[in-house]
Amino acid sequence: MKPPSGFPDSCIKFHSHELRFLASTRKIVFGSGVFLFDRFHIGTTSADAIGFKGCKEIDGPYAAYIETVFEKPVLLSGPLLPEPPKTILEEKWVSWLNGFKNGSV
């Protein structure tokens, strides 16, 4: 399958099993007998703006595409960053990392 017209050039490629799953979500009922796809479509077309967690530097071209498709502003709340680890690094890894010049790893 080809991306829709105007979709930003992307390195994102779906495997056939991923596409089958995405296609199957059109049949998932999400509360009160409404299909998930229909609920999403109704929500995005009825909203004054669309928001999601992302940042302009990474998600900018996709946000611009969504703005074009839905003809409404897309609000980005910030990048998707993992929580910093709360565990202590094992001594063998501390020792190994210390063998490199600061900032090189």
Residue 105 has a pLDDT of 80
3-state secondary structure of 15: coil
41 & 54 share domain: no
Give the three-class secondary structure for 83.
coil
> Could you tell me how many residues make up the chain?
105
- Higher-confidence residue of 37 and 73: namely 73
Assess whether 37 and 56 both reside in one domain: no
- 99 part of a folded domain: no
The predicted structure's pLDDT at residue 61: 93
Is 3 part of a structural domain of the chain? Answer: no
Q: Write down the pTM of the prediction.
A: 0.63
**DSSP 3-state percent helix, strand, coil across the chain (nearest 5):** 45, 10, 50
**Domain boundaries, position 57:** 49-80
Number of domains, the chain: 2
Tens-place pLDDT, residues 60-102: 999 999 999 999 999 999 987 888 888 898 999 999 999 999 8
User: Which residue is it, tokens 């199957």?
Assistant: 24
Q: Is residue 41 part of a domain?
A: yes
- In a domain? residue 69: yes
Most confident of 22-26, 49-53, 78-82: 49-53
The predicted model gives 11-28 an average pLDDT of: 85
pLDDT at residue 66, rounded to an integer:
93
Q: For residue 103, is it within any domain?
A: no
For residue 8, give the nearest of 54, 53, 78, 58 by alpha carbon.
58
CA dist 62 and 55 (Å) reads 10
Percent of the chain residues topping a pLDDT of 90: 39
Confidence class for position 1, pLDDT limits 50, 70, 90: low
Q: Does residue 62 fall inside a structural domain?
A: yes
